[in-house]
Each structure stands twice: as structure tokens, then as C-alpha cells.
Amino acid sequence: MKKSQNSKTIYVEGMHCASCELLIEKTIEEYPGVKQVDASLEKGQVKIVSEKNKSLDIEKLNKDFKEVGYTFSNKQFPKENHKLIELSDAGIEIYRSKFYEYLKILGILIFVLVLVMLINNSNIGRYAGVDANSSLPAFLVLGIVAGLSSCAALVGGLLLVMTKQWNDLYITDKTNKLKFQPHLLFHTGRLVGYFVFGGLLGLLGQVVSIGSGTSFAIVIIAVSVVMLLLALQMIGVKQVQNLQVKTPKVISKFVTNESNFSGKYAPFILGALTFLLPCGFTLIAQASALASSGFFKGGLIMLFFAFGTLPILGGISLTGVKFNTKPKLTSMFNKTAGILIVVFAIYTINSQLNVLGLKSLSDLELRSNNTTSEKVDQEIQENPDVDENAQKLVIIADDFSYTPQGSMTIEADKPTILAVNNKGVQGCGRFMAARGLIDNYVELEDGWNYVELTPKKGVYKLTCTMGMVRPVTITAI
């Protein structure tokens, strides 16, 4: 600090995240005579360096920041009590303000989760039967179904996390114009990316498959773990705050400067790359694009599918930006979104553990095997392609489940036939996978499907490619 400058520390109340620091700094830096501003959320104070003949008016600060909820003072504010319940000799004391805040969040969370459960239990996925010859509006409907299903948990959760990041980045934007820009870029990138990648799949035709289920599972778990950490930070869990990867203020200020364009197109790229994080419904559309054998047809299939997912994902964007116009609403949004992301992340990680054949929460669910009926045995034996001397595993695929018919225990290193009767399985259930037992995945046709296996000794999980169908455990001894 130069001799001609004056340094002053004032205290501020109402900051709740690192983006508040940026908002205060950028606003005060525009005051006449102010040379440098350093706001600290941790200390609840702002250090201001200004010209000696320029004094900072506390009343002006309070007036200018009243709308966004910050209060300034020359004296330190009493520390805010963040406790919900406190135990003392007098008994249990419940802080009403915190209680009502968490009650609101709980109410919103329950409403959203009940809505998701109702949608998932409505069997809307049964209308998702499409192939390369289906009309383009059919893929639009498929996209709508995907947007309403639990398959959208990964992309929806990712968008919730990015909404928080983008709102922090453009917190000084009072009109929300800048805050909407990354969302528009994200959704535009998603549409363009789906068309381009869908077209490339169309050109590739039957030459290559969509990809390794194991690789996708590892990538999705990694993304979900990062989402989980960010969600816990949004909720305010102190134990993970130190893991926070914060953008240096110098970079944040540069990017939020309207005259600089560096990095502003990252949301476009991110939106396009969501093509590589497919859910079961996306896999159906991708398989159809792959079978279309043409760039334009494959591109349009994926474009219409992406348009179908737009209403739900667009709603997340709109809600996220509107909630972040005021600090109190921002705090509620962060906690609510954080809790939802935790649910989505755990759900997604659990599904991918099923894909990898590892222990998961799904193992806690008990299942009783049904006895193979004579009709099932007769239908299998009458098929000339089935080796009558081979071991047989019989599965009924219906709705969104795989139901075992008889024992799922077999002898290792012996020819085995996996017989699957597809009676209308929906969503990613059409793509059956079992790591170590089935190479990549099997796309189930209507009726009986027969897969030849030579199982090694071990325990396998039979589920869909996204691990969302409750797994059937197969044991080779």
C-alpha cells in the first residue's frame, strides 16, 4: 500500500458463499477512489484500500447492498448460530428460524422425490419402443420419457451442480442476462453435439459398438463422486469444505469481465459431451442411430431425442437462475439442490456398482426365485438352436425387471444357455449386461433370446447396461 492510500476494514453480514465475496469486491471497486477490495467470507469482513482523501460511507454501502441482503458495519457482528438443536442443562432448545428453514427444504425435497417416484412407477417407459425405422416424433417422445425418468439423474444432477457454479460466476449480473448465457450455450451444445455425434454413429453403421460398459461405468462413477462432493459443499457440510476446488479470484474476475470471452464457450462443449454419458433411453436412441446407416438420419434421430429431454433440463436451468436472484433464495436453492444431487449421485453410483458386478445397496433387497414351469422348459427344448445338454439359466424380462425362473446357480466351465423371454421390458432393460459373463451387452429382441455362455467360477450380476434394473445374482461353482 502506498503512502497516499488508506486501508480500512469493515464488517459484513449476509455472505453465504465465495461468490458473495466476488459480488462485494466488484461492486465496491467501482466506487470513486477505491483501489483494491478483498472480501473474506471466513472472517466476515472486507478490507478496502482507497485514496486518502476518499472516505467510505457505511450508509451508502448498506443502501447499495440492501436488495441483495448484505449489511455493513464498522463493528464486528455477533457470530451467527447455525445450530438447529442445542442441548443444555435446561433441556433441549430448538432454534425456530433454522427449524423452519430446514422444514421448507425438507418439504421441497419430499415433493420432488414423490413426483419422481410416481413418474417411475407409472411405467411410462413402456412407450419407449423405437428402432431405426421409427418416425422422428417417436424419438421426441422417447426423449420426453427419458427426461422424466430416473435415467436423467446424471445429466440433471450435473446441470444442478453447474447451475450453482455459473450463478457464482455471474453473481454481479442483476438482470440474469449473463446467468442465462451458459445455460443457453449448454443446451445449444447438447442439441448440436447430439446431432453431430448421432450423424457419426449413422456413418459408422454396424462397424463398431457404442462402447465398453465397464469404461462408461468408471467414468460415470468418477463424475458422480465429484458431484457428491460438490453437493455436500452446497449443503454446507464442513468436513468437505477443504476439498473445495475454488477458481482464483483473478481468474474469476477475468472471466466475468464482459470484455473478455475466454472460457465462455465451455458450457457449449460440456453440453455436447453429455452425449458420452448415456442412460438406457439414450442407448436405445444411439443404437437406432447406429443402425440408420446415414449421417443425416442418425443425426436427426439423436437431435429429436435431445429436444425431448429439453423441457425438463430447461426447467432445471430456469429454476436455478430464478432461485439465485436473492441471497436467502440462493441459500435455499443450494441446500435443496445439494440434497437432490446427493440422492442422484448415490443412486447413480449404486447403479454403476451393479454394472461392474460389485457389492451395492441393491444386494440388500431380497428376491425369491420362481420355479421353472413346464411350458418354459418345453419352449426352450423345442428351439433347434438350443443345446439340450447345456446348462440353462431362464429369465423373464418384463416391465423394468428381470425375473429368474428357477435356480441361478450353475457349474463353472460348462456350456450354458442364458434363455431370456422378453415380454416387453422397457428402458435400458432391453440392453442386458453381466460383467465377466456377457461380452459388452445383449440387445433383447421380443420373445425368446438365447445367449451361449461358458462361465468361469465366480458370482455375477445380471442387470441392464446402466445397472438400474434390480440385478439377478448368478453363481458359478
pLDDT tens per residue, range 281-311: 677 688 778 877 788 989 999 999 999 888 8
Looking at residue 428, its pLDDT comes to 76
Looking at residue 34, its pLDDT comes to 87
Instruction: Please enumerate in sequence order all residues whose Cβ is within 8 A of that of 221, keeping only pairs 6 or more positions apart, or say none.
Output: 348, 349, 352, 353
Q: What is the average pLDDT across 80-96?
A: 63
In this structure, of 143-147, 310-314, 440-444, the range with the lowest mean pLDDT score is: 143-147
Q: For residue 242, name the pLDDT band (cuts at 50, 70, 90).
A: low
- CA–CA–CA angle 90, 94, 99 (5° rounding): 180
The CATH class of 365-476 is mainly beta
Q: For residue 374, name the pLDDT band (cuts at 50, 70, 90).
A: very low
Please report where in the chains the cell 439340450 appears, as a residue: 388
Looking at residue 278, its pLDDT comes to 54
- Using alpha carbons only, how large is the chain's radius of gyration in Å? 28
Q: Is the pLDDT of residue 78 over 60?
A: yes
Cα distance between residue 179 and residue 8, in whole Å: 32
Cα distance between residue 234 and residue 57, in whole Å: 33
Q: Is the pLDDT of residue 67 over 90?
A: no
Cα distance between residue 117 and residue 104, in whole Å: 20
Q: Is the pLDDT of residue 446 over 50?
A: yes
Burial of 67: CB neighbours in 10 Å, binned 0-12, 13-18, 19+: exposed
Contact 397, 434 (CB under 8 A): no
Looking at residue 218, its pLDDT comes to 77
Q: Is the pLDDT of residue 148 over 50?
A: yes
Taking the CB of residue 336, how many other CB atoms lie within 10 A of it?
22
Looking at residue 123, its pLDDT comes to 47
In this structure, of 16-25, 196-205, 232-241, the range with the lowest mean pLDDT score is: 232-241
Choose between 346 and 17: higher pLDDT.
Answer: 346
Give me 219's grid cell: 467414468
Parts of the chain belonging to CATH 3.30.70.100: 5-73
Parts of the chain belonging to CATH 2.60.40.420: 365-476
Give me 424's grid cell: 416387453
Contact 172, 252 (CB under 8 A): no
Cα distance between residue 83 and residue 86, in whole Å: 7
In this structure, of 18-27, 249-258, 394-403, the range with the lowest mean pLDDT score is: 249-258
Give just the sign of the alpha carbon dihedral 446, 447, 451, 455. Answer: positive
Residue type (1 letter), 120: N
Choose between 465 and 418: higher pLDDT.
Answer: 418
Q: Is the pLDDT of residue 194 over 90?
A: yes
Share of residues in the chain with pLDDT > 90 (%): 16
Choose between 325 and 354: higher pLDDT.
Answer: 354
Cα distance between residue 218 and residue 361, in whole Å: 17
Looking at residue 258, its pLDDT comes to 41
Give me 284's grid cell: 436405445
Please report where in the chains the cell 443450494 appears, as a residue: 334
Distances (CA, A) of 121 to 150, 192, 347, 380, 400: 11, 32, 16, 32, 10
Q: Is the pLDDT of residue 117 over 60?
A: no
Domain spanning 5-73: CATH 3.30.70.100: yes
Share of residues in the chain with pLDDT > 70 (%): 62
